Structures are given as structure tokens and as C-alpha cells.
């Protein structure tokens, strides 16, 4: 037989494009159109419906970028269409993909939302266009409204080009869309079905080898179907064409076919190329779509993560909320994830990541009575090794991600596996081999999932999330109908629409005893610049986390002491949720438009003011009246004579600091600063060794050209290191002493920017404090500060949530080399047996740590902290302006000292005028056991909740001794639910922790 494969395939594509798809709709009549252009931000439906509308027509320009227009559509349904399927078809002038351009939400005449509109979903069935969303009939007059959002295409055809359309707009502006269609039309269901038949078979045959009989049989059937189709009467002959496909569509899948669990999905980014306010509307559109679609396709299951998005529906769309609750009760919409948002996991602090689970799971429990079991993070930019333990302590047991498929250097070796965290906890994990969380169930994607599945031969099933996402929309009727066609189709995987819980239960039952283990973080080999981009967003997050710690600690102490009437439960709950929202994986990482980050910065400033007021109120209540200077220490370690978590009068520590000829000396360390303001020597007097590597200088600012190939705000590519400039020029270097502190102020100017650094050496310390103020006006540059130390370290330790993780300083393997930029929280540490150095910070996350061999045989290990970047997309003004960050170089430090100094720099002492000291609510007799949170119980019982963790990476025994009367103690999970009773002995609770174990204790006050 002659090979006519290409001939048939090209014939099919042209027929679909020019003949068949245009025949989906037959007879049509235009709708009457009126419009009201909202003058600014979106308004409630009641206000929009009461506005004065103007006559409009097809072709009407509408919507300046980020603007809103309300359209009123009306018309008479022709009586002669009785017996036909009838739909309203509205094209707002869509361009781009769903969720990334204009969108609409259909409302009834009373303002009830019905269904969303986007470029791939332009219809509304007559069954919802009657009064109050009821069915209309031929002969009826219909009327409905569409709230149209003029969301611009930020990621347009010229991807990553700088654009200002991500900024919050001024009033007015030029319309960017034109109304393209508004009709009532007859829907030719047989034509629509034919299209899906053809697409399913064509997609399948293209994945088969040319020699396979199945491919040739499908091609012959496709050819016969086109022969049977009359192009002048497509609607009338579509059934004849479909009949030619019945045989090839009805053949069952092979017995060994892979099993795909298909889950409807939208993955709505809580903010990204649109502001938070627009996400509220995206969620309403998507939920409305799903609820309406389920009426026609009852088998639909839609996974809906992010409790925050559920809460937005409840707060802003009462009618949609009722539909959502019913869909959840019916099993159509399935809450998943158990987190407040799909957060970043590299950057949130320990307690913040725990609270993602607390607030997410509590919402689903309170509103739906559902205790979610799967943690759903398909798109976050890497996954901390702390997650498995937090998943388990939240009461969940499964984890799903997709983003690891984006790795640039190394292919992740598993798709279903046990993920082991830094404490040894394991969680059953799935990484869908379809390599997308927005599948269209095409033949190409289904075949890829089956071929790509790493566990083939040992396991048989994987999960596929399908539907339009990122910008929302979710599954369409085409997707669900396609799922029906490929449910049991020869040469294709079997596809079953079912819930994530059903998938995980079956996958674990089949494979749990044989699944491989991956230990440690799931490092993403892309998007490494998200540890640094948008410095003020990151600084606001870090500051908020520590202010919340203080607010909870001192408020709890004041209530327990009887000096404060009420604990600020509601305020703290609201503030926590605002902080957690901004930890979404496109906000905290710095990868959203300008509007999002300017709003986040304003939010952080407002929250800081509120938290400072809560802290001040509690501390003043504790300190009482008087004139003494009471120092409050919120850190878990004592300092200046003040116990950790307590307050009192400080005592001085250490001998006086001297400054002479550029040398700062406090008796423990001696620091030499040269005329360039650089550290040429850092001598540890106690250890008798030089810390700065021979021939090197410390606190060296280094400026790199930073032009990644893609994803400007997200990525830093390894070639950035090829172009570096040492910033050594200096405007001035000034030495001084005041109040026993030696200070060096160094001012530099370079390019269009300037830096002022203040180095301080304090009495009794083994650290150099470095405050850096940057007036930044660069583009596509990356600024780092380097600390080359004379330490032979083959690995570095970086603080992560509830512990630390080790990473190699060498590049032995491609896996090692890929980690050329790493994330750390408050500290990084390098060491050799008997000696180490730490760099601590108050608001930065990105680092790179490498070692080089010297000619003298020694090893230089260089710690570099990432200070600031200047990407141009999606925010061309990223980080322009003034920033102040604090670091400290801590010498002679082990891990315990790194931990302590990390808390110190983030929790500075507070001084309150009063008379009374504060005994810590709890005392721990082991410095390796850290109190991460101390608060009153969420149920407002008055119980005290203490969250602890083992920080050294070893086993630790400790006793917790409360300073207040305790009736009983229980071990609880993150949601403060009872796990086990704990025994009180001599007024204390003794326990043993494994490395990095988290323990939450609930103390019932007597």
C-alpha cells in the first residue's frame, strides 16, 4: 500500500479548520447589546445593574487595561428553533489563551453569577438563561449581563519583554478589546461530537509508529469519515461521518495499558500576571463554570486547592458559595491541598509554613467537614525537606507536585515514591508523568504519560490534572467529552475521572511496599533567582513572621500573668492569613507584576504597624509602671543577662572595643579594615587563627551581568558568573566608637547606584555586624557580597524550616553543579572539624557557596549572599530604590551558634520603661531544643501551646518547665488536636527528640 499518511493528515487539518469547526453553530440571530463602562475598580453586581447603560454594537471598543465593562444582552429566542439545542454565543474580543486575556462572568438580571466566559468557552446554554438562571425555551425573551474584565496579555507574543501594563493603572486609558460576537445560535451537537471523535483519533494515531496496524486502521477510518462528509451540508452529514469511526473508537485498551486518573483542575494562581483582586473574580468564574458543567457531566471531579480561594468565594459571591458547598457535598468539587494557598516552600519561615497547614485544613474542616489528606503543590519552585514532617503533623498523608518536570540539568528519577524529609518522616508522593498540571487529554499528552512513567513494570497508574489553569477556567465540556472517548481506547492509556483520594489510595495500595525513596529536598533546577527577586516583598515577609512570633509570645505571657484581659485571637488570625496569602508561589518569590508587589509592600507596612501595637500593648502590661529600662528578649536563647522568651534589666558583656589604625578589637576577635573599606583580616583571638583566606578580602561586593535566557524574575543562569565586577571603589571610609561599639561607615558609588555599609564590632561578641543600604538603579544586574574564609568545607549547612540542610560545596556530579544558587533562611554555615563560620541575615535568602584550592595547599570556601537583582519582566522597575539589609559574619561558630545568631539578628531586643521583669512562660534545659512558637490555643480555651524542634541534627533530651500552674500536658498535631498524653514530673515535661523532630505541646492551665 502506498504511504498516504501525510495526505490524510493534511486533509483532516484543513477540513477541521475550514469546514467542520465553523459548522458547530448553525442558524443565528444577533442579541441586542447595551454597555456600561465601570469608571475604576470592579463594583458589586447590584451597583453595576443599577447603572445607566448605553446602546452598543458589535465592534464596540471597550476596556482599558485592567478596566471593566458590563454588557447587557437581550433577545427573542426564535420559536422555529423548537427541538434544537440553542446557546448564547458571546465573544468579547478574546485573544490569547484562557485566563491570560479578557474574561467574562454571566449574571442573571438580579445579579446572580451563572457561568464564566473565556477564549475557549464562549457559550451559555439556554438551560440557564431563563429568569434567575432557570431554563429558557424557544419563543421566550431572554436577558442577561456579562461582567467583562479587560485583563491585558502581560506575557504576550514578545515573551519577557519589559512592559508597564503590570502596574496599577491610572483612570482612563485606551480600550484594548472590541466586542466580536453576541448571538443566539443553534448548536450542532453532532458536528461538535464529530470534531472530538476526529481529534481523539488523530491525536492517538500520531503517537503510534507508522508501521503499527492500529495507526493505519485509524488513518483509513479518518479518510472514510471525510469521504462521508458533505462540506456543503456538514451538519446534515456529520452523523454519517461519525459512523465511519465507530469501529476504531470502540476497540478496548490493551490489558497492560497504563491507568490514568483524570482530575479536573484549574490551578488558579492567587496572583501573578494579574492582581489579587482579579483572582477573586477568576475563582468565581471558574467555580461557576465547574458547577454548570457538572449538570451536564455528572462524572466530573474537580480538585480545588487553596483555602484562601474558597474563602474569597464565601466573602464575595454568596450565590456561588452556595453552589460551591453543594458541589463539595455532591463530590463534584473536591477540596485538596490542606494549605491556605499553594505557597512557596523554600522561603516561608518554620512557623509560617506550619500555619499554611493550620489555616488551610481548619477552613476545610470548619466549612465542609473535610479533613484533606493530600498536599497539592503542582507549581511551587522546589520543595523543602521539612515538608514531609509537616504533612504528617497536619494529619495528611500524600503529596503531589508537578514542577520537578521543569528541571533543566537532571531528570528526576521517580514518579511515585516515598519522600523522606530531613527528620526521617516519609510521605507517599506522586509526580504526574504527563508533565503538566493543565492537560487537555490530547493523544500526545496521554501517550507521553504512558511512556514517561518511571515506574512502568512496577506500578500501573498515574494522575493527570486536566483543564485550563494558571489564569483559571478549569475543564470545559470538550475535555470531559474527550475523557469519555479515551476511557477505554485501544493503544491509549485507560482514563478514569476520579478524585485525588481515589488515585492515591489505589496507588499506595499497589506500590507502597516497593516504591523507591528520595531523601532530602526536592531542589528545582530552574527559577533559582526567586530566592532574591523583589527584595522588599521578601523583607516584608521575614519581618512579619518575626513580629507575629513576638505578638503571640508577649500577648500570651500577659494574659497568663493576668495583666492583659484578652488575647487578640481575631486580629492575629486575620494578620496570619494576610501573611500566608503573600507567601503564594508567585508573590513571595518575586515573580509577579508590579501591582502585586507594590500591594504586598503596602500590606506588610500596615500589618507591621498593627503588630507593633499589639506587641507594645502586651509588653507595657507586662513591664508595668516605673522608670527602669526593661529589656524584652523574644529569642529562644538568653543574651545580655536576659533569659530567652523573658524580660529584665540587661547586664553588659565583654571588654571595651578599641579602634586603632583600621583595626577593631574586642578581645575576642580582631578585624582589619583597609582604605577600601574591605575586611583584609578577621583574626579569632580565642582560636588563634585567621578567618579570611590568604590573599582575599571579606565583605566584597560583586556585581554580575544578569541576563537569563528565559523567565527574567525567576531565573539566574549559571553563565552569570562569567561576567563579574568587584566593587572596590570607595567614596569614604570613616571609623568611630560610641557606647562601646566600634563602627566603620563605608560609602561607595558605582554605575547609577550607591551603597553605604556600616560595620560594627560590639563588646563580647565573635561577629561583625554589617548593615548595607543600597540605593539601587541598575538594570539586569545581580549584586552579591562575598566572604572568602580559610575553611576546608566539603558541604555547607543552610537553615530551612525546623532545621537545616547540607549541600555540597563541590560540583562532583551534575546534581551538585545544578545547585549553583541555594536558598537559606536566617543563616548559612561552613566548617571543618573543630572550626566553623556562619553568615546570618535578617531578610535575604539567596546564596552561593563554593570552594577553591590555593597554591599554598589550603582551601578557600567562599560564602556569597545575594543582595539584590534587577530583572525587567514582569516588573521592569523591580527593586529600584533604597533597601537596607543586615548580615553578620560569625566566627568560631558551630551549628548551635549559627542558630542562636540567626534568631538574634531577626529578633532584636526591645526596651520598655517599667518596673517588672518577665519570667519566661516556659524554660528548656537544652539549648539545642528551640521554642519556635508560644501562643494560646486556637480554640480560645486559654491553654498554652508550645511548638519545639530539635535544631542540631542530633538526638536531644530536654525538660520543659512552665512558670505557671499546669493541670495536664498533651502532645498535639499542628491543628492542636490530641495525639498523646504527656506526663508532668516535678512540674516539668521531659522528652527525647530525634534529629529535627517537631513537637507541639498543649499545656492546660490549672
Compute the average pLDDT of residues 411-431.
98
Has residue 826 got a pLDDT over 90? Answer: yes
Pair 177, 61: CB distance under 8 Å: yes
Query: Could you tell me which residues are beta bridge partners of residue 929?
Result: 950
Q: Hey, how many other C-beta atoms are within 10 angstroms of the C-beta on 569?
A: 15
- Convert the pLDDT of each residue in 550-575 to its tens digit: 999 999 999 999 999 999 999 999 99
Cβ neighbour number for residue 965 with a 10 Å cutoff: 11
Question: Are 520 and 385 spatial neighbours (Cβ–Cβ below 8 Å)?
Answer: yes
Q: Evaluate if residue 811 carries a pLDDT over 90.
A: yes
pLDDT of residue 367: 98
User: Percentage of the chain with pLDDT > 70?
Assistant: 100
Say if residues 395 and 977 touch (Cβ distance below 8 Å): yes
Closest CA to 437 of 392, 405, 485: 405
Of the residues 379, 440, 470, 715, which is catalytic?
A: 379
| 3-class DSSP state of 868 | strand
DSSP3 helix / strand / coil % (the chain, rounded to 5): 30, 30, 40
Give 307 or 4, the one with higher predicted confidence.
307
Name the 3-class secondary structure at 467: coil
Confidence of residue 1 (pLDDT cuts 50, 70, 90): low
Angle between helices 318-330 and 350-368 (to 10 degrees): 80
Dihedral angle over CA of 181, 185, 189, 190, nearest 10 = -100
255 in helix, strand or coil? coil
Percentage with pLDDT > 90 across the chain: 97
Provide the pLDDT confidence category of residue 67 given band limits of 50, 70 and 90: very high
Q: Give the phi and the psi of residue 871 in degrees, each rounded to 5.
A: -70, 160
| CA angle (850, 851, 857) in 5-degree steps | 175
Read off the pLDDT band of 3 (50, 70, 90).
confident
CA distances from 919 to 291, 546, 561 (A): 56, 20, 10
Tens of pLDDT along 630-657?
Answer: 999 999 999 999 999 999 999 876 788 9
CA 531/CA 739 separation, integer angstroms = 36
- ∠75-54-105 over CA atoms, to 5°? 60
* Other C-beta atoms lying within 10 Å of the C-beta of residue 457: 7
Q: Report the distance separating Cα 335 and Cα 341, nearest Å.
A: 12
Q: What is the mean pLDDT of residues 340-345?
A: 98
Edge-to-edge order in the sheet of strand 416-420: 374-376, 398-400, 426-430, 416-420, 517-519
- Name residue, grid cell 491610572: 170
Question: For residue range 927-949, what is the model confidence (pLDDT) as tens digits?
Answer: 999 999 999 999 999 999 999 99
C-alpha cell at 964: 505557671
CA distance 532 to 870: 10
Q: Which pTM does this prediction carry?
A: 0.97
Nearest-angstrom CA–CA distance, 721 and 719: 5
Measured distance CA(798)–CA(831) in Å, rounded: 12
* DSSP run (H or E) holding 946: strand 944-950
pLDDT confidence bin for 715, thresholds 50/70/90: very high
pLDDT in tens, 18-54: 999 999 999 999 999 999 999 999 999 999 999 999 9
Cell of 798: 543552610
213 pLDDT more than 70: yes
Dist. CA 845–CA 827, nearest whole Å: 9
- Is 269 in the active site? no
Q: What is the mean pLDDT of the chain?
A: 97
Amino acid at each position: 500500500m502506498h504511504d498516504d499518511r501525510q495526505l490524510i493528515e493534511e486533509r483532516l487539518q484543513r477540513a477541521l479548520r475550514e469546514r467542520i469547526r465553523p459548522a458547530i453553530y448553525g442558524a443565528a440571530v444577533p442579541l441586542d447589546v447595551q454597555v456600561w463602562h465601570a469608571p475604576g475598580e470592579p463594583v458589586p453586581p447590584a451597583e453595576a445593574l443599577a447603572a445607566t447603560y448605553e446602546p452598543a454594537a458589535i465592534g464596540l471598543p471597550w476596556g482599558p487595561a485592567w478596566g471593566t465593562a458590563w454588557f447587557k444582552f437581550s433577545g427573542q429566542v426564535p420559536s422555529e428553533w423548537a427541538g434544537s439545542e440553542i446557546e448564547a454565543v458571546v465573544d468579547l474580543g478574546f485573544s490569547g489563551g484562557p485566563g491570560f486575556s479578557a474574561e467574562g462572568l454571566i449574571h442573571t438580571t438580579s445579579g446572580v453569577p451563572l457561568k464564566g466566559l473565556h477564549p475557549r468557552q464562549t457559550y451559555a446554554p439556554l438551560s440557564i438563561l431563563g429568569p434567575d438562571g432557570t431554563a429558557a425555551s424557544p419563543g421566550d425573551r431572554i436577558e442577561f449581563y456579562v461582567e467583562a474584565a479587560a485583563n491585558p496579555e502581560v506575557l504576550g507574543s514578545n515573551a519577557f519583554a519589559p512592559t508597564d501594563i503590570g502596574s496599577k493603572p491610572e483612570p482612563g486609558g485606551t480600550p484594548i478589546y472590541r466586542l466580536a460576537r453576541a448571538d443566539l445560535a443553534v448548536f450542532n451537537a453532532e458536528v461538535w461530537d464529530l470534531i472530538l471523535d476526529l481529534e481523539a483519533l488523530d491525536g492517538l494515531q500520531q503517537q503510534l509508529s507508522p508501521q503499527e496496524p492500529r495507526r493505519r486502521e485509524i488513518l483509513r477510518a479518518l479518510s472514510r469519515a471525510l469521504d462521508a462528509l458533505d462540506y456543503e451540508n456538514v451538519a446534515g452529514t456529520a452523523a454519517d461521518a461519525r459512523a465511519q469511526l465507530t469501529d476504531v473508537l470502540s476497540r478496548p485498551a490493551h490489558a497492560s495499558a497504563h491507568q490514568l486518573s483524570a482530575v479536573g483542575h484549574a490551578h488558579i494562581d492567587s496572583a501573578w500576571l494579574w492582581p489579587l483582586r482579579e483572582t477573586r473574580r477568576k475563582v468565581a468564574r471558574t467555580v461557576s463554570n465547574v458547577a454548570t458543567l457538572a449538570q451536564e457531566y455528572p462524572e466530573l471531579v474537580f480538585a480545588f486547592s487553596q483555602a484562601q480561594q474558597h474563602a474569597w468565594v464565601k466573602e464575595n459571591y454568596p450565590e456561588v458559595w452556595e453552589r460551591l458547598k453543594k458541589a463539595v457535598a455532591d463530590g463534584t468539587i473536591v477540596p485538596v491541598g490542606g494549605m491556605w494557598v499553594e505557597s512557596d516552600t523554600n522561603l516561608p519561615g518554620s512557623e509560617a509554613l506550619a500555619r499554611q497547614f493550620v489555616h488551610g485544613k481548619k477552613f476545610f474542616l470548619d466549612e465542609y467537614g473535610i479533613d484533606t489528606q493530600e498536599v497539592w503543590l503542582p507549581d511551587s519552585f522546589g520543595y523543602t525537606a521539612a515538608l514531609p514532617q509537616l504533612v504528617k503533623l497536619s494529619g495528611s498523608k500524600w503529596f503531589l507536585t508537578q514542577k520537578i518536570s521543569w528541571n533543566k540539568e537532571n531528570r528526576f528519577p521517580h514518579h511515585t515514591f516515598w519522600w523522606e524529609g530531613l527528620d526521617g518522616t516519609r510521605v507517599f508522593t506522586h509526580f504526574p508523568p504527563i508533565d503538566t498540571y493543565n492537560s487537555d487529554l490530547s493523544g500526545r499528552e496521554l501517550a507521553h504519560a504512558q511512556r514517561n512513567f518511571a515506574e512502568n513494570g512496577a506500578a500501573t497508574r498515574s494522575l493527570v490534572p486536566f483543564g485550563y489553569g494558571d489564569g483559571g477556567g478549569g475543564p470545559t465540556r470538550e475535555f470531559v467529552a474527550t475523557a469519555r472517548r479515551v476511557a477505554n481506547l485501544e493503544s491509549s492509556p485507560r482514563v478514569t475521572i476520579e478524585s485525588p483520594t481515589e488515585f492515591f489510595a489505589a496507588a499506595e495500595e499497589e506500590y507502597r511496599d516497593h516504591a523507591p525513596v528520595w531523601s532530602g529536598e526536592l531542589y528545582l533546577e530552574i527559577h533559582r533567582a526567586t530566592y532574591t527577586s523583589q527584595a522588599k516583598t521578601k523583607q516584608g515577609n521575614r519581618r512579619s513572621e518575626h513580629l507575629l512570633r513576638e505578638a503571640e509570645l508577649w500577648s500570651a505571657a500577659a494574659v497568663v500573668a493576668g495583666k492583659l484581659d484578652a488575647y487578640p485571637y481575631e486580629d492575629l488570625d486575620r494578620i496570619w492569613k494576610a501573611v500566608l496569602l503573600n507567601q503564594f508561589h508567585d508573590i513571595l518569590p518575586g515573580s509577579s507584576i508590579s501591582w502585586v508587589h507594590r500591594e504586598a509592600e503596602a500590606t506588610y507596612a500596615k500589618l507591621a504597624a498593627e503588630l507593633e501595637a499589639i506587641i507594645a500593648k502586651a509588653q507595657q502590661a507586662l513591664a508595668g509602671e516605673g522608670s527602669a529600662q526593661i529589656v524584652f528578649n523574644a529569642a529562644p536563647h538568653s543574651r545580655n543577662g536576659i533569659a530567652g522568651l523573658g524580660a529584665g534589666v540587661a547586664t553588659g558583656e565583654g571588654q571595651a572595643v578599641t579602634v586603632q589604625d583600621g583595626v577593631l578589637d574586642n578581645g575576642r576577635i580582631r578585624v582589619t579594615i583597609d582604605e577600601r573599606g574591605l575586611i583584609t583580616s578577621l583574626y579569632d583571638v580565642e582560636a588563634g587563627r585567621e578567618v579570611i583566606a590568604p590573599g582575599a578580602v571579606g565583605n566584597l561586593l560583586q556585581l554580575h551581568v544578569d541576563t537569563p535566557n528565559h523567565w527574567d524574575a525567576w531565573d539566574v543562569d549559571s553563565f552569570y558568573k562569567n561576567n563579574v565586577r568587584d566593587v572596590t571603589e570607595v567614596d569614604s571610609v570613616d571609623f568611630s566608637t560610641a557606647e562601646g561599639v566600634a563602627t566603620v561607615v563605608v560609602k561607595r558609588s558605582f554605575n547609577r547606584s550607591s551603597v553605604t555599609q556600616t560595620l560594627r564590632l560590639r563588646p563580647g561578641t565573635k561577629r561583625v555586624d554589617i548593615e548595607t543600604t543600597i540605593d539601587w538603579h541598575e538594570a539586569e544586574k545581580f549584586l552579591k557580597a562575598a566572604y572568602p574564609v580559610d575553611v576546608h568545607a566539603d558541604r555547607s549547612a543552610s537553615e530551612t524550616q525546623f532545621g537545616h540542610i547540607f549541600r555540597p560545596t563541590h560540583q562532583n556530579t551534575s546534581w551538585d553543579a545544578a545547585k549553583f544558587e541555594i536558598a537559606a533562611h536566617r543563616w548559612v554555615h561552613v566548617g571543618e572539624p573543630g572550626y566553623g563560620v556562619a553568615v546570618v541575615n535578617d531578610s535575604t535568602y539567596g546564596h552561593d557557596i563554593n570552594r577553591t584550592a590555593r597554591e599554598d595547599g589550603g582551601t578557600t570556601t567562599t560564602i556569597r549572599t545575594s543582595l539584590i537583582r534587577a530583572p525587567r519582566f514582569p516588573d521592569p522597575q523591580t527593586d529600584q530604590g533604597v533597601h537596607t539589609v543586615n548580615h553578620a559574619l560569625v566566627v568560631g561558630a558551630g551549628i548551635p551558634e549559627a542558630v542562636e545568631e540567626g534568631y538574634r539578628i531577626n529578633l532584636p531586643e526591645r526596651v520598655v520603661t517599667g518596673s517588672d521583669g518577665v519570667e519566661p512562660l516556659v524554660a528548656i534545659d537544652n539549648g539545642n531544643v528551640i521554642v519556635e512558637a508560644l501562643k494560646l490555643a486556637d480554640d480560645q480555651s486559654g491553654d498554652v501551646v508550645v511548638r519545639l524542634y530539635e535544631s542540631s541534627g542530633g538526638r536531644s533530651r530536654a525538660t520543659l518547665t512552665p512558670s505557671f500552674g499546669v493541670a495536664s500536658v498533651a502532645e498535639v498535631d499542628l491543628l492542636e488536636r490530641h495525639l498523646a498524653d504527656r506526663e508532668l514530673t516535678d512540674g516539668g515535661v521531659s522528652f527525647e527528640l530525634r534529629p529535627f523532630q517537631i513537637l507541639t505541646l498543649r499545656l492546660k492551665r490549672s
